[in-house]
């Protein structure tokens, strides 16, 4: 489908997002409350989607994802808070303890800084793509349109499978976290309560998800800021126990542990800790005006990386030595292994460990909530592209991908393995299925951005028509692709030869690297089955899915906004650049 030379079928089939309107119009507003509730599960009104029998599979996929009947109910405050605190969870609060023990405080900062820079570039690239194409499925859809449908199939299922598995994992983590206060109640009772709570939230649609994440993220943000202030007080000797610490632990036991291999092992933990940041791009299809709301949310990623990860982990490295025995031998979801809690305990503060445990519980439930949202939207988009069974694309009148939510809920019932003595073994292999998922997702986003810009150049399109441009530009996307490849190499090495192991460990390798062969098998399978071809730059569709279809008006509006910002003082211009 070449937008510069459209055929008659193309012109009839292409429908701007504006024509779809705010698809809540299909919602039933008459009758009793129960009748309205019952009717809300009926199919959304799809009359705005044209007949596209004569189009190719790729053209059908582009139109279907561009005209998804998802509701556009997310507001700017939702997106900003999702961007700032959406992925703050066990990776930061607990996983950082393992990273500190393996690599030391210097490795912790170096690895998280480099991962943060890569992710900043990646989210900027994703922002540019989603502002122009706020389509359902976001990056999995972009892979289909800008790289190869086979790669879109592989990345889409890789991402959907990640959230399918993360949901029961987080439920078990929540049950273990709550046992910090009471170990007498069976874990199965807690996971049942948490499962029902998250499913009810998601049945309220995108409004339910947005409001829940706004509250969850706000609590996490306040907790991290509070810890940073407390950490400074502890480091300066203001705690009940222990005197002035300063940079003592950077000298004894030291800044690094296990040398370069320790640093490589921290990269993997860092990548896991940032998982979920890309959800802000997935939510673009459910905002009323992505050109206004998405840039502000995308820019918040810088502050999250700087404040909530780098500053908090710098404080952790100053007040907790990497050889603290409490960092070792604990479960990856055990609050006792959290360096945040260890720091408070070592300082002799009695009440705060329970408060921090409550924050970790909220963080875990937040990730579980995001898992259902991310899985259901990805699965629905995959189905719309013909990459999954057709019934999974069903979206009701409230904009809920109801069968995607049900699928996530069914797989979530694996959480009841928490009551089994095989719990740790089962979940170690489930986690192996998703261990590298984010690395493939982030690398693919950057590559999609590179291909998109190349296609614009080949087709003679101007970058001035982009409503939002990635601040690091193509350089950032090239850095993102290369860095993600390096992280895959580091994971291969540390997975095959774990820290402290005298020789190669096959079990450890497959638990660390199982996601890679799954992605490759999916890609090769679909490539052979559908005989897909890599999308050429000349034929790449650069228009379907745009909400602003008048290029001249858009360019003029962008120029007017830039002129207004330039007319302001230095402080305002700086604020608008970063916020």
* CATH code where residue 507 lies: 1.20.1740.10
pLDDT of residue 19: 39
Roughly what angle, to the nearest 10 degrees, separates helices 352-384 and 139-146?
40
Check residue 354 and give its pLDDT: 84
pLDDT higher than threshold 90 for residue 229: yes
Region 396-419: mean pLDDT is 85
Q: Is residue 39 part of a domain?
A: no
The DSSP code for 67 is T
Reply yes or no on whether the pLDDT at 33 is more than 50. yes
Q: Per mean pLDDT, which range of 86-90, 213-217, 403-407 is the poorest?
A: 86-90
Domain hosting residue 397, numbered range: 8-24+45-548
Looking at 274-331, list the stretches that DSSP marks H as alpha helix, in order from N- to C-terminal side: 279-282, 290-303, 312-319
Poorest-confidence range of 171-180, 260-269, 404-413? 171-180
> Is residue 71 one of the residues assigned to a domain?
yes
Residue 16 lies in a domain: yes
User: What is the per-residue pLDDT across 495-509, written as a single tens digit (0 to 9) for each?
Assistant: 888 887 778 888 888
**Residue 76 resides in a domain:** yes
Among the residue ranges 175-184, 264-273, 351-360, 465-474, the one predicted with the least confidence is 175-184
Instruction: Decide: helix, strand or coil at residue 396.
Output: strand
Q: What is the pLDDT of residues 274-310, one digit of tens each?
A: 888 888 877 777 787 788 888 888 887 888 788 888 9
The predicted pLDDT at position 51 comes to: 60
pLDDT at 21 over 50: no
**Is residue 489 situated within a structural domain?**
yes
- Do 217 and 82 meet the contact criterion of CB atoms below 8 Å apart? yes
Instruction: Report percent pLDDT > 70 for the chain.
Output: 84
**pLDDT value for 25:** 39
pLDDT tier for residue 322 given thresholds of 50, 70 and 90: very high
Q: Decide if pLDDT at 227 tops 80.
A: yes
Euclidean distance between CA atoms 61 and 38, whole angstroms: 30
pLDDT grade for 549, boundaries at 50, 70 and 90:
low
Closest CA to 70 of 112, 31, 20: 20
Terminal CA-to-CA distance of the chain, rounded, Å? 36
pTM: 0.87
The SS3 call for residue 43 is: strand
On whether the CB atoms of residues 377 and 136 are closer than 8 A, the answer is: yes
| Residue 453 falls inside a structural domain | yes
Among 8-12, 46-50, 123-127, 313-317, where is mean pLDDT lowest?
A: 8-12
pLDDT at 331 over 80: no
Reference 141, options 63, 249, 35; nearest CA is 63
Mean pLDDT calculated for residue range 381-393: 88
Give the per-residue pLDDT at 525: 95
Using CA atoms, how far apart are residues 10 and 413, in angstroms rounded to an integer? Answer: 44
Average pLDDT over residues 201-210: 86
The pLDDT of residue 267 is 85
**What is the pLDDT, as a whole number, of residue 441?**
93
pLDDT digits (tens, 9 = 90+) for 409-451: 999 888 887 666 666 677 667 777 777 888 999 999 999 999 9
pLDDT band at 333 (very low <50, low <70, confident <90, very high): low
Asked whether residue 482 carries a pLDDT value surpassing 90, the answer given is yes
The domain total for the chain is 1
Contacts of 568 (CB under 8 A, 6+ apart): 576
Q: Residue 30: pLDDT above 70? A: no
Helix (H) or strand (E) holding 363: helix 352-384
């Amino acid at each position: 489908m070449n937008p510069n030379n459209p055929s008659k079928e193309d012109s009839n089939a292409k429908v701007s997002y504006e024509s779809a309107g705010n698809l809540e119009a299909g919602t039933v507003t008459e009758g009793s409350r129960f009748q309205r509730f019952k009717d809300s599960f009926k199919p959304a009104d799809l009359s705005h989607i044209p007949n596209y029998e004569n189009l190719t599979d790729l053209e059908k996929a582009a139109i279907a994802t561009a005209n998804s009947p998802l509701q556009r109910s997310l507001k700017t405050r939702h997106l900003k808070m999702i961007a700032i605190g959406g992925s703050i969870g066990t990776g930061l609060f607990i996983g950082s303890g393992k990273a500190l023990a393996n690599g030391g405080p210097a490795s912790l900062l170096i690895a998280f800084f480099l991962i943060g820079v890569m992710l900043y570039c990646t989210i900027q690239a994703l922002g540019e793509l989603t502002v122009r194409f706020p389509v359902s499925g976001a990056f999995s859809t972009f892979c289909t349109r800008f790289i190869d449908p086979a790669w879109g199939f592989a990345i889409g299922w890789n991402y959907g499978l990640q959230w399918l598995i993360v949901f029961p994992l987080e439920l078990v983590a929540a049950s273990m976290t709550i046992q910090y206060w009471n170990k007498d109640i069976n874990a199965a009772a807690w996971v049942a309560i948490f499962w029902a709570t998250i499913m009810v939230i998601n049945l309220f649609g995108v409004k339910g998800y947005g409001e829940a994440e706004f509250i969850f993220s706000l609590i996490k943000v306040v907790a991290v800021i509070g810890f940073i202030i407390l950490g400074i007080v502890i480091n300066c000797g203001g705690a009940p126990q222990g005197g002035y610490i300063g940079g003592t632990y950077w000298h004894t036991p030291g800044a690094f542990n296990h040398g370069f291999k320790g640093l490589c092992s921290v990269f993997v933990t860092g990548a896991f800790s940032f998982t979920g940041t890309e959800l802000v791009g997935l939510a673009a299809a459910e905002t009323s005006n992505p050109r206004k709301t998405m840039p502000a949310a995308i820019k918040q990623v810088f502050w999250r990386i700087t404040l909530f990860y780098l500053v908090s982990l710098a404080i952790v490295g100053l007040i907790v030595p990497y050889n603290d025995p409490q960092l070792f031998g604990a479960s990856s979801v055990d609050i006792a292994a959290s360096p945040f809690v260890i720091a408070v305990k070592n300082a002799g503060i009695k009440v705060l460990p329970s408060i921090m445990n409550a924050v970790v519980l909220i963080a875990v439930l937040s990730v579980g909530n995001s898992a259902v949202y991310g899985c259901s939207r990805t699965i629905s988009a995959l189905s719309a592209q013909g990459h999954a069974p057709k019934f999974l694309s069903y979206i009701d009148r409230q904009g809920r991908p109801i069968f995607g939510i049900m699928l996530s809920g069914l797989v979530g019932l694996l959480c009841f393995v928490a009551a089994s003595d095989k719990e740790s073994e089962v979940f170690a292999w489930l986690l192996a299925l998703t261990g590298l998922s984010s690395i493939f997702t982030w690398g693919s986003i950057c590559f999609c951005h590179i291909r998109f810009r190349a296609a614009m150049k080949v087709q003679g399109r101007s970058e001035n028509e982009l409503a939002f441009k990635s601040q690091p530009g193509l350089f950032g996307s090239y850095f993102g692709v290369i860095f993600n490849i390096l992280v895959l190499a580091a994971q291969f090495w540390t997975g095959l030869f774990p820290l402290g192991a005298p020789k190669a460990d096959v079990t450890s390798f497959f638990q660390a690297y199982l996601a890679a062969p799954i992605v490759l098998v999916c890609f090769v399978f679909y490539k052979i089955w559908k005989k897909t071809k890599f999308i050429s730059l000349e034929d790449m569709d650069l228009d379907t899915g745009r909400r602003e279809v008048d290029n001249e008006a858009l360019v003029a509006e962008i120029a007017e906004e830039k002129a207004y910002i330039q007319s302001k003082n230095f402080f305002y211009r700086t604020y608008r650049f970063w916020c």
